[in-house]
Amino acid sequence: MTLQLEREEGIEDVVLEKGEIFVVPMGMRHRPMGEAEIMMIERCGVVNTGDAAVSHLTKVVEDVRRTE
């Protein structure tokens, strides 16, 4: 998987292999790309695709956690 980071000097690609971890600095625009299953950990209240509501970039995923 490639994680594109938007920096002042341009786009930086960070390539991650299976089992690797990367922490995106707070407030940095970024975009995961590629075919991969990933686990994202975010604070409560973080909206997908930044501070936008639903857009063509938003993928709705069913919440499969148990509520029992």
Q: Give me the pLDDT at residue 1, please.
A: 92
β partners of residue 6:
11
pLDDT-based confidence at residue 67 (cuts at 50, 70, 90): confident
**Residue 33 pLDDT:** 86
Beta carbons of 6 and 33 less than 8 angstroms apart? no
Domain count, the chain: 1
pLDDT digits (tens, 9 = 90+) for 9-63: 989 999 999 889 999 888 888 888 888 888 878 777 666 665 566 666 566 677 7
Structural domain range at position 21: 1-68
